[in-house]
Amino acid sequence: MILGYARVSSADQAADDRSSLQTQTDVIEGFARTRGVDRFGVQIYTDAGVSGGTKFKLRPAGADLLAAMKSGDIVIASKLDRMFRSSSDALAMMEVFKERGVHLYLFDMGNDPVTDGGMSKFLFTILAAVADMERVRIRERTAEGRKAKKAKGGVIGNIPFGFRKVGEGRSATIEVDEKEMEAAARMKEMWAKRQTFPNIALHLADAGFVSRAGKPYTPMAIRRVVQEAMQ
């Protein structure tokens, strides 16, 4: 079985032909055709709006792929950074694929599986480290940009979960939102007890914890809070 993986981290990226989900899908299906498999014989798992910094096993589609794959399967992604942006996660997951007898191909790294050793594995190790360094530099540049903007006054960007904006314009500040903080604590506590995200959403709604829009938290929103707490 050929299992494909595609990911974009934002709606803007999804609209970019060079990195869109459709482009990644075309690459995966093209790879399958070279092995005599048409698109109906390929199962593609897609994560949209998921950061590359999130560990592969914690992504919705990533977790589904890991649960579905079996010994002898082939996993294919169009590029290394679609699957991994952390070198530690990349190397750890490569060991998981090897232990389960699954061949991992990354289209931008040639025709050999990176799980089979040799030059592909060597190149994979180096490029995973480079991708990790790039991710850190992007984070640093973003933080520097936000710091410079904040120095000019005012609150910038999205308000983190657990906080709220007070005031408007250049005089606006961020303060702790006690109720959101309590909601986050309950989310993490219930997740630690192996509650599912939909069940957590129901429990929170019953207890009077709702989103900033006044609606029950979605399972995806709860997943995001829990994942950020684990990073």
Q: Give the CA angle between residues 225, 128, 75 to the nearest 5°.
A: 80
Residue count of the chain, please give it. Answer: 231
A 10 A CB-CB count for 177 gives 18
Query: Is there a catalytic annotation at residue 9?
Result: yes
Q: What is the dihedral of CA 114, 117, 123, 126, to 10 degrees?
A: 100
Separation of alpha carbons 154 and 170, rounded Å: 4
Catalytic residue among 9, 19, 78, 86: 9
CA 88 to chain centre: 15
Residue with tokens 């997740």: 191
Give the residue numbers marked as catalytic.
9
